[in-house]
Homo-oligomer: A and B are copies of this chain.
Amino acid sequence: MADTAATPDMLSWTCPAPLRDRPRVVMGHGGGGALSAELVEQIFLPALGGTARAALTDSAAVELGGARLAFSTDSFVVRPLFFPGGSIGDLAVNGTVNDLAMSGARPAYLSCGVILEEGVELDTVVEVAAAIGAAARTAGVRVVTGDTKVVEAGHGDGVYLNTAGIGLIPPGVDLRPERVVPGDVVIVSGAIGLHGVAILSERENLRFGTDIESDCAALGGLVEAMLAVTPDLHVLRDPTRGGLAASLNEIAVGSGTGIVVRERSVPVPPPVASACAMLGLDPMYVANEGKLVAFVPREHAEAVLAAMRGHERGAEAVIIGEVVEEHPGMVVARTALGGTRVVDMPLGEQLPRIC
């Protein structure tokens, strides 16, 4: 957590950050912020022959046998395994389903890799498996292949999961940051900050007046409803690790445009606001697991918003901002008092192991 307090020149991942000054992995490398990006851009992409663009997307688009597929993976190390509103099993299914959905694909099949720690109760494994199964049925996907490994006590934490997923990208759908242009409207599908605050409250046994539940949910249906309005959405992103701030920054960098957000329009539920105020967190940086942010051409914005509001997972969708030509690569928030502030890329993650 110390890594979130960083020197200013570490806060933008567009400039090469001094990764090699840190000889060892720190928790922030897994936070979905600038440190994660460094790890990917300076170590994995060069080794794997990828491009920087690849690091900016939730899933890969590949062609195989004439089919245009989305392919994505995530590992899950959330602590605790069960929390208000979900579990590691729900996250593992919905996380990968949502990564696929963000490319416009209809999620179809999942793999599931399980790393168990010696000594974990089999009843816990049963509960996790049941959660995976239930979440897959709700999301309309099938887990078709899996693997189990066991590590000695003290080399794991009960259960770690990995899922990978494949889905079919419909013709005409091409969602990526490069398609974002000034004038695009920024829509969020509902309240932010619920997942991170739910995990933290469970972990630290805090209560904030109202019980806060994770928003963990599959977004495939919502995306389908949006694409039914027009296949010409520009980009979708589910703001997980690093929160809305990280997603908006990734899109600003990837598109080379500026993003302006009206702070008052960002839907932060009062219990999340109170919890964040008490804990010194910024809701813009807190993880979500059942929300998306959409960049939509202005002419389709109202129709897409209406379609979102007509879907269970987008009932509270709202326009929060727009894309501008000014300050390319930068996200700016207009505050309630009429001022502006820069919404930086987070360095690490305010809360480790939230997914």
Q: What residues of chain A have their CB less than 8 Å away from a CB belonging to chain B?
A: 19-20, 22-31, 36, 39-40, 43-44, 46-50, 54, 59-60, 62, 64-69, 71-77, 108-109, 111-123, 125-126, 129-130, 132-133, 136-137, 142-152, 154-157, 160, 162, 164, 166-168, 352-353
A67 to B68, CA, bound (A): 10
Q: List 12 A-B contacts (CB under 8 A).
A: A25-B116, A25-B120, A27-B152, A43-B125, A44-B114, A49-B142, A50-B144, A60-B109, A62-B109, A72-B145, A77-B155, A152-B352
Instruction: List, in ascending order, chain B residues with CB within 8 A of A117's CB.
Output: 25
B44 near A115: Cβ-Cβ < 8 Å: no
Given A19-B122, A155-B157, A160-B160, A150:B74 Cβ within 8 A: no
A272 to B: closest C-beta gap in Å: 24
A104 to B: closest C-beta gap in Å: 14
A73 near B151: Cβ-Cβ < 8 Å: no
Instruction: List, in ascending order, chain B residues with CB within 8 A of A62's CB.
Output: 108-109, 144, 166
Nearest B residue to A72 via CB reads B145
A149 to B76, CA, bound (A): 8
A284 to B: closest C-beta gap in Å: 22
Instruction: List, in ascending order, chain B residues with CB within 8 A of A68's CB.
Output: 65
B164 near A111: Cβ-Cβ < 8 Å: yes
B67 near A30: Cβ-Cβ < 8 Å: no
A279 to B: closest C-beta gap in Å: 20
A129 to B46, CA, bound (A): 9
A167 to B72, CA, bound (A): 15
B146 near A73: Cβ-Cβ < 8 Å: yes
A289 to B136, CA, bound (A): 32
A232 to B: closest C-beta gap in Å: 21
A148 to B30, CA, bound (A): 6
Nearest B residue to A150 via CB reads B30
A67 to B64, CA, bound (A): 7
A125 contact from B25, B109, B136, Cβ within 8 A = B25
A60 contact from B66, B145, B157, Cβ within 8 A = B145
- Choose among A65, A115, A157 the residue with the greatest number of B CB atoms under 10 Å from its CB: A65
A137 to B48, CA, bound (A): 9
A103 to B145, CA, bound (A): 13
A144 near B60: Cβ-Cβ < 8 Å: yes
A71 near B162: Cβ-Cβ < 8 Å: no
Instruction: List, in ascending order, chain B residues with CB within 8 A of A50's CB.
Output: 143-144
A147 near B49: Cβ-Cβ < 8 Å: no
Instruction: List, in ascending order, chain B residues with CB within 8 A of A151's CB.
Output: 30, 77, 157, 160, 353
A25 near B65: Cβ-Cβ < 8 Å: no
Given A49-B142, A150-B352, 12 more A-B residue pairs with CB atoms under 8 Å apart are A26-B150, A30-B116, A30-B150, A60-B109, A62-B144, A64-B109, A64-B167, A73-B111, A74-B113, A77-B115, A115-B115, A156-B156
Given A30-B149, A67-B65, A118-B27, A47:B130 Cβ within 8 A: yes
B69 near A64: Cβ-Cβ < 8 Å: yes
Instruction: List, in ascending order, chain B residues with CB within 8 A of A77's CB.
Output: 115, 149, 151, 155
- For the complex of A and B, the 10 pairs showing the least CB-CB separation, nearest first, are A65-B67, A30-B150, A164-B164, A73-B111, A47-B129, A60-B144, A162-B162, A47-B133, A75-B113, A60-B145
